Amino acid sequence: MRELFHPDVQQVSLASLLYALGDPVRLEIAQRLAREGEQSCSALCCDVAKSTLSHHFKILREAGVVYSRKEGTQRINSLRKAELDQRFPGVMDALLAVADN
């Protein structure tokens, strides 16, 4: 299995972060990871096709929003909130808070 791309936090741009979280499904994934912690892809399934969900995870991962690691046959995802807070202080809190309303 090939390695997944995870950008260094210094490579993450505000535009890519906002783009990645501009989709309701991806924002919901980020909210759930923030609220519940690490989750497998299957635990985070939304009302979308598996291929569509994979696409959303790819966008989140390549934008630097989530980190995915392989554990057995599953991919475990975590929100890179602490790293993103260092890079863009307060942005993730604001996006997650607004989305909760």
Render 21-51 in DSSP notation, one character per residue: TTSHHHHHHHHHHHHH-SEETTTT--SS-HH
Residue 2 in domain: no
pLDDT digits (tens, 9 = 90+) for 20-34: 999 999 999 999 999
| Residues spanned by the domain of 16 | 9-100
| CATH value at residue 71 | 1.10.10.10
pLDDT digits (tens, 9 = 90+) for 25-84: 999 999 999 999 999 887 876 778 888 888 999 999 999 999 999 888 888 999 999 999
In three-state secondary structure terms, 94 is helix
Tally of structural domains, the chain = 1
Residue 1 in domain: no
Residue 60 in domain: yes
Per-residue b or e along 8-44, where b marks 16 or more CB atoms closer than 10 Å to that residue's CB: eeeebeeebbeebbeeebbbebbbbbbeeeebebeeb
* Long-range contact set of residues 47-52: C-beta below 8 Å, sequence gap at least 24: 52/25
Global pTM? 0.89
Residue 77 in domain: yes
pLDDT at 99 exceeding the cut of 80: no
Residue 3 in domain: no
